Structure 1
């Protein structure tokens, strides 16, 4: 049985607001404990793998506006 995103968000929000444990939330909403733990795990933002970009997106867009016909290799030289 699948649960809607709204329901999942509501459960997580109520747990945070009322400082409700996973066990009590599972009993209250009639959902398996592991299911709620999975929902909580999926809401945590994960860092993007890899190294940070050398220049920002704004700098790239500005360069593309100034030199629209340049190749990537020409942009890299600047």
Structure 2
């Protein structure tokens, strides 16, 4: 669960004004670990860019057209990846 930056800043201000991080966590009913991690890193991390897929969607669709009855492990051998990667790619393509 992500907290808004205003809420995070309010908690950090309470700690800066002399309250203990344990007391602040108890008052706002959030985890002590969350408050402690905000003290260590007051700015949210944001989102990281996802690594591009090893399997090209168009190539996978062509492979499905050419070999419609193949097992996922056979496709994985042709694409030089794991069977689970083929499974995730098929889910991504909603096949």
Output the TM-score relative to the length of structure 1: 0.51
Q: CA RMSD, aligned part only?
A: 1.5
Pairwise CA distance, 1:22:
1.1
Structure 2 residue runs of 5 or longer lacking an equivalent are 44-95
Moved runs in structure 1, 4+ residues, more than 6 A? none
Output the TM-score relative to the length of structure 2: 0.42
Aligned to 1:22: 21
Residue 43 in structure 1 maps to residue 70 in structure 2: no
Structure 1 residue runs of 5 or longer lacking an equivalent are 45-78
Aligned length: 43
Measure, in 2, the Cα distance between the counterparts of 1:43 and 1:31.
Answer: 16
Residue 34 in structure 1 maps to residue 26 in structure 2: no
What is the DSSP-based 3-state SS (H/G/I as helix, E as strand, rest coil) of the residue aligned with 1:43?
Answer: coil
1:1-78 alignment, distance < 5 Å: 1-17=1-17, 19-43=18-42
